[in-house]
Structure 1
Amino acid sequence: MTVRTRRLAALLAALSAFAAGCGGESDTDLVRDTVRSYGEASAKKDYQRICDDLVAKELLRSVEAVGLPCELAFKRGLQEVKNPRVEVGEVTVNKSKALVQVRSSAEGQPDSQDTLELTLEGGEWRISSLAKAQPQPPQPAAP
C-alpha cells in the first residue's frame, strides 16, 4: 500500500467514525423513547414487554417482592385502564439517572402530572420509579 493510499484509508476511517458518532441519539432522546415505549406497551397491555424491556432490575425486584410475578402485578394495576396516554415533557439527565415529567391520561380518569425516574442499565434506559403525583383538577369547561 502506498503512503497516499494509507492516508486516504486513514481519512476514510476517521470520517466513518465521526459520522457514526454524529448520527446517534442523545441520552435525552433515548429516555423519551423508553417512556414512549412504556406508554405504548401499557396501551397494548403488553406486560411482558414492560417487565422484560422497560423496567429496571431494582423496580422488578421490588414488584416481585410482594409475591407476584412482574407481569401479573402490572396486569392487575393496569387492566382496568382504558386508552392510556402518556405525554413526555421535560427530561433531565444526570449521568446514569434521568427524571421525566409526564402527563398521564386515560378514559374515565382524571389526568395526572407524574415524574418518572429512569436508570441506565447495561446501556439501556429503564424505568426505576413509577411514582405518581396527585391527579390534576379537571379543566374548566369552555364558555
Structure 2
Amino acid sequence: MHSWRDVLSVSARTDVDRMLSAALSMAKQQLSGSSEFDPFALVTDIDGRLLAADVDLTGLGRHPESDKIADAATARLRMLAPTARASALTVNTRLSERRTDAVEVRLEHREGAALMVFLPYKRPRFGGAIDFGELMQSPGAREIWT
C-alpha cells in the first residue's frame, strides 16, 4: 500500500510537514485561550513562504457559523492556488465515534496529495492543560487543485 508521501517530491513533503506543524501549533495556541476557534487557512507560496490566507467574511453576518467560514476559506484558497504550492484549512471538529473534539487539518499540495489529519483533544473539567491525543490521518478530497 502506498502512502500519500510516496506521490510527492522531497520539497513537497517538506511543504506539507511544515504546514501541518504550523496549523497544529496555531490551533493549540488558540485553544489554550478559548474553548474553540474559527477555521483558518494557510498557504505555502511559490517561493516556499508559509503565509496566513486572509478570508473575506463580508456578507457572512456578525457571528458566522464555522462551516460558512470554512467555505469562504476554501474559496480563498482556490483563488490563491495559481501562486501557491500547498494549502491547509484548519477547523475545530467533533469526532462523534470517539466522543471527543479534534483539530482537523485539510492539507493539499499542488503535486497531488490531499489528506486530512486529526488531533483529538479533551479539556479537563475543572481547568488545567488540554490533553491532546495521537494524530490520525485519512485520505482527503482535492478541493483546491482540481
Going by fraction, where is helix more abundant, 1 or 2? 1
Asked if Structure 1 and Structure 2 have the same fold, meaning a TM-score greater than 0.5 normalized by the shorter chain, the answer is: no
Larger gyration radius, structure 1 or structure 2: 1
TM-score after normalising by structure 1? 0.30
- Larger RCO, structure (CA 8 Å, separation 6 or more): 2
